[in-house]
A = this chain, B = another copy of it.
């Protein structure tokens, strides 16, 4: 077994189990403990994993959080305020989940009277804190990573709604591929939401722009409005403007 091969295998196992044991690896790969140790040491130096006595732990599980998180909250706040301005009394609004949406929920005018539909547990809670708006949770099996209700029943429920606005946090957007996601179930939900709304608003920090993921949610022509933290005239947004999307 080649060195590269081994190291890829180690990282693969680490993604699967979040932990690997030196002894396991050496017997599985048919090499000596020392070799495994050296592999782990290298990978650790490359910052790919965390080496511990007896094996290694996945890095993603341990850290991975709250570095740029803090930085982005400011931007998300700018976005949230712009989005909140679009909401008017009496509207029926579908929303996805995600941190941008949570900020949006916090930014809503306290006098606002509107009805929000969402599949996201966290978003539902945030909306429910608001004094006057109505919140409808769309239920189904919960996808744990995203805390989103997904499945046929949720899609059906969404299909039975005629909303004025769909406010959607974006993961990836691109002039070629449009709006895309990595999770098939979530994609089904988002597609249904867009279909069920008169207008679709995408919100997200500009980092998410010009990137794509595996599964397409919608073409750009299905998107009506795009909100980022940038100035509407920022050149980064020009290509989207050319596709007929209104930028705020």
Chain A residues close to B by CB (< 8 Å):
2-5, 8, 19, 21, 50, 52-55, 57, 62, 121-122, 124-125, 127-129, 134-142, 144, 147, 149, 153-154, 157
Contact = CB atoms under 8 A, between A and B. Distances in A.
Contact of A121 (B5, B19, B57, B125): B125
B149 A137 contact: yes
A122 to B, nearest CB: 7
Contacts of A154: 139
A140 B149 CA distance: 12
* A-B interface, 4 closest residue pairs, ranked by CB to CB distance from nearest: A139-B139, A135-B142, A137-B139, A4-B52
Contacts of A4: 50, 52, 57
The listed residue with most B CB atoms (<10 A of its CB), out of A2, A134, A149, A153, is A2
Contacts of A57: 2, 4-5
20 contacts: A2-B19, A2-B21, A2-B52, A2-B53, A2-B57, A4-B50, A5-B57, A8-B62, A121-B124, A121-B125, A121-B128, A128-B147, A129-B144, A135-B141, A136-B139, A137-B137, A137-B141, A137-B142, A139-B139, A139-B149
A128 B157 contact: no
Q: State the number of copies, please.
A: 2
A140 B137 contact: yes
Nearest to A4: B52
Nearest to A130: B144
A140 B117 CA distance: 9
Nearest to A151: B136
A142 B124 contact: yes
Nearest to A137: B139
A136 B141 contact: yes
Contacts of A122: 125
B139 A125 contact: no
A55 B139 CA distance: 40
Contacts of A121: 121, 124-125, 128, 137
Contacts of A127: 142
A142 B157 contact: no
A136 B137 CA distance: 12
A8 B58 CA distance: 12
A139 B140 contact: yes
Nearest to A8: B62
Contact of A53 (B3, B125, B136, B137): B3
